[in-house]
Structures are given as C-alpha cells and as structure tokens.
Amino acid sequence: MNLAGKHIAILGVGRSGRAAAMLALREGARVSAWDLAGADAFANMPAGVECHPNATEEQGSGVASDLLVISPGIDTFGHYSTAFSRHAGEVIGEVELASRFYQGKIIGITGTNGKTTTTELVARILSHAGFDGTPCGNYGTPFAEVVMQAKPPAAVALELSSFQLETIRSLHPAVAVWLNFAPDHMDRYPSVATYRGAKLRIFENLTAQDTAVVRSGEELPPIAAQIVTFSTTNPQADWFSNGHVIFHNGESWLDLDHETGLRGLHNAENTMAALAACRTLGISADKMREALHGYAPPPHRCELIRTLDGVEYLNDSKATNLHALESALRSQTRPVVLIAGGKDKGLDYSPVVPLLRDKALATVTFGQIARPLAALFSHAVPSESVATLADAVTTARSLAPRGSTVLLSPGTSSFDQFSGYEQRGNSFRDLVHQLR
C-alpha cells in the first residue's frame, strides 16, 4: 500500500490513533488528527501531525481524506464518524492499516470472553518457539507499533475486538480463533445479530490454506478454512479437557493443575485454543509445554488477592458481561458471595439466576445497576445493593463464612464509577488488603 503524498485523517488520538499516525508518517503521508477532546489529549502526538482538538461533527463534514482511520473507541456508524467518512476515500481502523504493512503470520483471536488470556498464552508459546510473538491489538501493543519495530516479529498474537473487526477490509489471519459468543456491548450495537456479525468478520478473508480454531458446538456460517475444534463437554472434539488435563486426539498433552497456574473450565478452553492455534505453525508439544510451565492468568481474571479468616478473595474485574460472570461462577468449587454491578449496558441477567442458586450463598450489588440487579438476584439467593465497591467489599465480608469465596465478577463495564476494569480491579485489590 502506497501512502506517499496522501492525506490520512486519524479520528481519535488514544494510543492506537497515535500509532496509526506514526505509521502513516513513516510511509510518507500527510497526517491530520481529530478528536472531541481538548489540546491536552494531543500531547504525545508525533511531530508533523496536523492536530485538531475539540473537533466537531460540522468540521468533520468538510474533511476530505484519502484514508480515514477510526479508533475502536469511537462508534464506527455514529453521527460523528459518519461526518468524517463523508469525503473519505476509504474508512478503516488502525489494525487494518498495520496489517497492510506486516509480512509475518497473524494468529487472530476473538470471542466475547477469554481473548486476553488466550492472546497471552499464544504470545508466550510463539516467543518460546522463536517467533517473538508480540501480543498486540486490543491487548498489549497497538499493531501499528509492532509493525514499526526495526525487526518485526515473525508471528503475532492479535487480539481482535468487535470494534476493531468492524473496520477490517483485507486483514488475513493464518489462524483465526473463535473462543465463544454471548450478547455484549448492547449500548453500542442495535442488536445481538449486529454484534455477532462484527465478530464473524474474523473469518471473511480466510482461505482453504488457513485454519479456524473454534469451540465445539458454536453455530457458525460456512468457513473456507480448515476447522479445528476444542471443548470441555465434547470428548470427540480435536482438543478436549476435563478442566484438569488437556487431551489432543485422545493423547494427554498438558496437566493444568501441576504444570500451570491455570484453573477452571474457562481457562482450559483458553489453553486449548492457544495450543491448537500454535500447533498449526508446527510448534512441538514439548516446546508448548515448556512455554506454559508455571503460567498464571493476567491480573483481574479470577486473580486470588488473599485469604483472610478462611475466605478467599478473587478479583475477576475483567468480567464485563454476563457470559464472563457465568464462566467465573461455574469455575468455583467453594460457596460464593458474589459482588456484581457497574454500568447498565442493557443486558438481560436472568440467565444467571439458576447458576446463583447452585453456586452462591449471597450477592452484593453496587453501582448504577445495583438495585435492579439485586432485585433479580434475590429470586435465587439473599441479595443486598450498596452504592460503592468499598461498601460492597465490607458487606460481602460480613456475609462470607470460613471456607467460602468472595468473588468480584461484575458482569458489566465499570464506566459509571471507574475509568476501566483495571482501575476497578486495582481498587478491589486495595480494599481487600485493607481488611483486618
């Protein structure tokens, strides 16, 4: 792709927007950057970029560009983006832009839940096998930054959100991983089908020479690639696990309990997906076992904070939707006092009620959605609603007997009270360590 002399407009000046701007400058483009935010947001924008803070929809309607690069945090089909798109030759995202200048193999990873853990696992295996394997995309480093390295890696673990997949055109993974699907982001998408359609775009450029790694039982349209399945319920899948040992075609491959710090069926699925994806690149079983030896999940994903008075405190702040909450609950072997709540994203939480009856002693809800969530959960177990996470931790402690688990698994996003799930999880960690 030749960008020399062309006008590239960047909409959104977060880290991915800055990375896209740097790549476009490297390729000889004239680059302008636009954002609703004030001048402070442009502080780290590279020299040579025309900066337009406090950019309005009206201004956008007058911007002519050869290429418009939209950041994933901005609604691709909203009025603001549409205004800037009106006179754009092509509209893509930073991931798509970077892919056009990358010569290595892409393992693309999507799904409603488990993307980040799987991306980390894939990157760890690739690095151990000599591919470098930088984790990038929706997690880790922006893909454009990876492409601009003096020696880009031979393969990347590319986490792809639905927002990023909306703006792909030619992105072509050698391996596309589909972990799972459940309703999410209903505050951005008009329907579940629209959200699902964005996710499915990961498959649209695959050929018969590529591989799709998918969870057994997923209802997917026809896929041109070779399909490899994994499952924790279907022993006939190519990869199967009972939550303790992973089997490939009936042969034991990895003992999760003794060789890794990964626990629960959801992490067994993530690990199988990573092994299956890396296997397609010819990496041996021994190399993969070595890479995963002692691995523990990233923070905020069923992270054990401490045990106090016989009660475990787990931080699963990354659970920003119902499916993630359900996965965390299913993986618990001790009675649970659940802390849930946050922003109201318009999700239906009724499917979790039967699981609460089976797994939970009580629930404590907080944030914008606290009261309706407590009212719903009270059909299964005693439930209390409070205002803040600090109140929730104090209340949960009073309800949790020795031998139980206090599980922060919010089931929704954090933007009513926090800047993101990381800040929410860090706050929970601090509050738990303050308990005496």
Same domain, 87 and 208: no
Q: Give the pLDDT of residue 299.
A: 83
CATH of the domain at 161: 3.40.1190.10
Q: Give the pLDDT of residue 44.
A: 86
Residue 118 belongs to a domain: yes
Q: Give the pLDDT of residue 267.
A: 87
Same domain, 193 and 325: no
Closest by Cα among 213, 218, 183 to 198: 183
Domain end call among 251, 270, 292: 292
Q: Give the pLDDT of residue 183.
A: 65
Same domain, 408 and 307: yes
Same domain, 158 and 245: yes
Domain of 78 in residue numbering reads as 7-92
Residue 134 belongs to a domain: yes
Residue 52 belongs to a domain: yes
Q: Give the pLDDT of residue 262.
A: 82
Residue 69 belongs to a domain: yes
Instruction: State the catalytic residue, choosing from 7, 52, 115, 248.
Output: 115
For residue 258, indicate whether it is catalytic: no
Residue 147 belongs to a domain: yes
CATH of the domain at 30: 3.40.50.720
DSSP-derived pairing of the beta strands 405-408 and 311-315: parallel
**pTM to 2 decimal places:** 0.79
Same domain, 215 and 331: no
Same domain, 116 and 204: yes
CATH of the domain at 383: 3.90.190.20
Give ∠ CA 1-59-63 in degrees, rounded to 5. Answer: 25
Integer Cα distance of 66 and 192 in angstroms: 32
Q: Give the pLDDT of residue 350.
A: 94
Residue 129 belongs to a domain: yes
Domain end call among 92, 127, 162: 92
Instruction: State the catalytic residue, choosing from 52, 105, 128, 185.
Output: 185
Other residues' Cβ atoms within 10 Å of the Cβ of residue 150: 4
Closest by Cα among 120, 110, 204 to 163: 110
Q: For the chain, what is the domain count? A: 3
CA–CA distances in Å: residue 193 to residues 26, 101, 167: 38, 32, 17
Other residues' Cβ atoms within 10 Å of the Cβ of residue 132: 17
H/E stretch holding 33? strand 30-34
Same domain, 23 and 153: no
For residue 138, indicate whether it is catalytic: yes
DSSP per-residue letters across 200-248: HGGGTT--TTSEEEEETT------SSEEEEEESS-TTSSEEE-SSEEEE
Q: Give the pLDDT of residue 113.
A: 82
Same domain, 403 and 421: yes
Same domain, 108 and 48: no
Instruction: State the catalytic residue, choosing from 113, 138, 180, 205.
Output: 138
Task: Please say whether the beta carbons of 25 and 46 come within 8 A.
Answer: yes
DSSP-derived pairing of the beta strands 50-52 and 64-65: unpaired
For residue 357, the number of C-alpha atoms closer than 13 Å in the C-beta half-sphere is 7
Integer Cα distance of 297 and 304 in angstroms: 10
Q: Give the pLDDT of residue 258.
A: 87
DSSP per-residue letters across 402-418: TT-EEEE--SS--TTTS
From first to last of its 436 residues, the chain has per-residue pLDDT tens of 899 999 999 999 999 999 999 999 999 999 999 999 999 999 989 999 999 999 999 999 999 999 999 999 899 989 999 999 999 999 999 999 999 999 999 999 999 888 988 999 999 999 999 998 889 999 889 999 999 999 999 999 999 999 999 999 999 999 999 998 876 666 678 788 998 999 999 999 999 999 999 999 999 999 999 999 999 999 999 999 998 899 999 899 999 988 987 877 888 999 999 999 999 999 999 999 999 998 877 788 888 888 999 999 999 999 998 888 998 898 787 899 999 999 998 888 999 999 999 999 999 999 999 999 999 999 999 999 999 999 999 999 999 999 999 999 999 999 999 999 999 999 999 999 999 9
Closest by Cα among 422, 333, 325, 313 to 369: 325
For residue 359, indicate whether it is catalytic: no
Residue 297 belongs to a domain: no
Same domain, 238 and 383: no
Domain end call among 50, 73, 92: 92
Residue 319 belongs to a domain: yes
Same domain, 37 and 105: no
Task: Please say whether the beta carbons of 43 and 64 come within 8 A.
Answer: no
Same domain, 274 and 310: no
